[in-house]
A and B are shown apart, each in its own frame.
Chain A
Amino acid sequence: QSALTQPASVSGSPGQSISISCTGTSSDVGSYNLVSWYQHHPGKAPKLMIYEGSKRPSGVSNRFSGSKSGNTASLTISGLQAEDEADYYCCSYAGSTTYVFGTGTKVTVL
């Protein structure tokens, strides 16, 4: 069970859109539409931003959206804001009631 691969860092200017990829295998991301995304400000509890690949929990801004193609899931943040600066992690169901997280991406707002 290897960690899902994410870019170490992504940056953008306020108002721009950025995307974060999350690459797994046919045993996890590719087999299930069960990818979730978490926003993590250091020192705080991670926050669920996307579940089932593309669905937003109540209260999460519609600037956050998710998608999947093959073994790669993506999180897109549109209209980037200073408050979006954080670490982002994907997580996929990997079968047999196991889960695997991504390596994490640091988002910087320039």
Chain B
Amino acid sequence: QLQLQESGPGLVKPSETLSLTCTVSSGSISSSSYYWGWIRQPPGKGLEWIGTIYYSGYTYYNPSLKSRVTMSVDTSKNQFSLKLSSVTAADTAVYYCARLQNAVVAFDYWGQGTLVTVSS
């Protein structure tokens, strides 16, 4: 059973960069059948797609976050990562990593999520 696990600091100061890593286990991140994505949920609000990355490194970002988002992939470690720069309190959220299955264009496996709080 594929598993995804988010990791990273739970507290980030305003104006700094949020960094998270998603480790994929029981499956290869290098499969051509999947993309890998980040989705977040601010407290009391809905889900927001942040971006998606292919194992080759090709990235696609939410236009509203594009100027601050960088995603990368490390196939040797079976991991992909998210960096969000110049964070503010509005970036406080539970961040999820997920697998996007190409054939059906849906996020079929998700991590449990990690809460990141932006505060001084």
Contacts and interface: CB of A to CB of B under 8 A. Distances in A.
Interface of A: 1, 3, 34, 36, 38, 40, 44-48, 51-52, 55, 57, 89, 91, 93, 96-104
Given A44-B112, A45-B112, A91-B107, A99 B46 contact: no
A5 B116 CA distance: 26
A51 B60 contact: no
A101 to B, nearest CB: 4
A47 B46 CA distance: 15
A96 B52 CA distance: 12
Given A1-B62, A45-B111, A46-B96, A101 B105 contact: no
Interface of B: 37, 39, 45-49, 52, 60, 62-64, 96, 98, 104-108, 110-113
Contacts of B110: 45-47
A51 B104 contact: yes
Contacts of B105: 34, 36, 51-52, 93
5 contacts: A36-B105, A51-B105, A96-B60, A101-B47, A104-B47
A46 B113 CA distance: 9
Contact of B49 (A45, A47, A91, A96): A91
A34 B12 CA distance: 35
B107 A38 contact: yes
A93 to B, nearest CB: 5
Contacts of B45: 104
Contacts of A51: 104-106, 108
Given A48-B106, A48-B107, A52-B105, A104 B46 contact: yes
